[in-house]
Structure 1
Amino acid sequence: MTSESGALLEIRNLKKHFQVGGGMFGSITGKKEYLKAVDGISLSIEPGTTYGLVGESGCGKSTTAKMVLMLEEPTEGEILFEGKDAINADKDAKRHYKSSVQAVFQDPWASLNPRMKVESIIAEPLEVNTTMTRAEIHTKVGDILEEVGLQQYQAELYPHEFSGGQRQRIGVARSLALNPKLIVLDEPVSALDVSIRA
């Protein structure tokens, strides 16, 4: 299902302003200062397309991604997913949204729990969001690992036993587990060695 415009995701005039320290005089006068991290972005993503958001460092790309992923609350604006308001949705609709929109983060070291085996990392969203049996989850995890170029036996390993590129593949595998309609990639290769980015 998409919106009337045909968009899977539509962002309208999205803003995120962070309050910054007003200093001693700001607290006395009550004057607040804000950093405009994102100031009125609008975009539309059609189903089955790839969309690249490009800009200099610090221009708000990651903040925009965090708002789309519901990790940051927008100051103002709308996020429509399949034509429905994602920001003001009820609990069930937000749960559906969060399982339909997944992420691959910039730093695989920070985004993978070092105490969990790869199978548990990939299985976790399935355990939380589906009614699949353990056997079905085990089979699905093996299939996903193969899809991203890893082998099934590697499900029993920990993240530190992989190279940076392989850890990023684990992140991709986790994001694919729920068959999302949209995957947000926040600089997924920037933490990797230049020789393996391609």
Structure 2
Amino acid sequence: MTRKLAPGRLVIASHNQGKVREIGDLLAPFGIETVSAGALGLPEPPETGTSFIANAELKAREAADLSGLPALADDSGLCVEALRGEPGIFSARWAGEDKDFGMAMRLVHEAMEKAGPDAGHDAHFICALSLAWPDGHIESFEGRVDGLIVWPPRGTKGFGYDPIFQPIGRNQTFGEIEPDEKHAMSHRADAFRQLVAACF
């Protein structure tokens, strides 16, 4: 039996301001007051899981445990077919200590060049969402959006790898699409629809 989340405060277990803002926007209609793990001074736990859901659960559990509030964690990443699914769960790590996604996008482009033109440009974003309560209960959901890798990067509206990801059926990248439109079609939106249906 899935558990419903009552209106009130919810910790977003992330230090990524782009992600915190996007999740806050998606939760606003439900009377949820979001506060980021960074604003509460909570540490970022090492992501030692071997899947998106494992990492999301690890982050949600720690934030709920340390804050005494329900916590929502997201683990998401870009999976490129030509790179056998990389960067995948290591998407943030490709950006290095300084979270330099300009560098991360160049690394993806260079790796794809090495893979050769026959490897194609197919890619998808995955988002795992885990909602944890301080008593240890947890609910997890996974969303996906398919697209193509483009080069050079285009647009400044998104964050992370958005400027090189063009969703199927569109001629704009996530970096060029207005945030409201992206919210309606992204991997995070897909996972959110599942979360809302189950827990709100």
TM range (shorter): under 0.3
* TM-score when normalising by structure 2: 0.25
* TM-score when normalising by structure 1: 0.25
